[in-house]
Amino acid sequence: MEIKVCGGTLKVSGFINNTPCQFVVDTGADVTILSSRVFHKVDSAASVKYMSTDGVIRGLDRQIIPVIGQVALEVTLGETVSTMDVWVAYIQEECIVGADFLKKEGCIIDYPRQTL
C-alpha cells in the first residue's frame, strides 16, 4: 500500500471497523493507539475490553497521555485485515500504528518506493 511521507512522518489511509481513518506509522510505538474521537465514530458493536482511569501511555518525549481503555477492533490497511487489541487514548492523530501490528503482519517499510 502507498504511504505518504509528510515532514518525515509516514501516513497511510485505512479503516478501523470499516470507519475511514488516517494512520501514522510509528516503528517506535510498542502498541497501536486509536484517538478517542475516532473511537466514538466506530461501530457501536466494539466494546471496551479493559477500562482504567489510571492508565497512561508515555510518548517519546515522556509526555503522559491519558488512556480510556483497550478494545479489540478490526484494522484494515490495504489488503491486510487484522483483529487486534488497540489502546484508545486522547491523541491528536487519528490512529498510530505501532510495532504490535507491524510485527504481527510482517510489514516492511520501503522508503524509496513509499510503500508499506
Domain boundaries, the chain: 4-113
- Domain 4-113: which topology? Cathepsin D, subunit A; domain 1 (2.40.70)
What whole-number distance in Å separates Cα of residue 54 and Cα of residue 6?
Answer: 33
Q: What would the pLDDT profile of 38-63 be if each residue is shown by its tens digit?
A: 998 886 555 556 555 556 777 767 78
What predicted TM-score, i.e. pTM, was given to this entire model?
0.83
What whole-number distance in Å separates Cα of residue 51 and Cα of residue 67?
Answer: 8
**How much is the average pLDDT of 76-81?**
92
Instruction: Enter the C-alpha cell of residue 115.
Output: 510503500
Q: What b/e string do you get for 19-29 counting C-beta neighbours within 10 Å, with b at 16 or more?
A: bebebbbbeeb
Q: Are strands 33-35 and 19-25 parallel, antiparallel or unpaired?
A: unpaired
Around Cβ 114, how many Cβ atoms within 10 Å? 14
Mean pLDDT of the chain: 82
> Are residues 7 and 76 in contact, defined by beta-carbon separation less than 8 angstroms?
no
What whole-number distance in Å separates Cα of residue 49 and Cα of residue 62?
Answer: 26
Question: Mean pLDDT lowest for which of 4-8, 79-83, 86-90, 91-95?
Answer: 4-8
> Are residues 116 and 52 in contact, defined by beta-carbon separation less than 8 angstroms?
no
What whole-number distance in Å separates Cα of residue 7 and Cα of residue 53?
Answer: 34
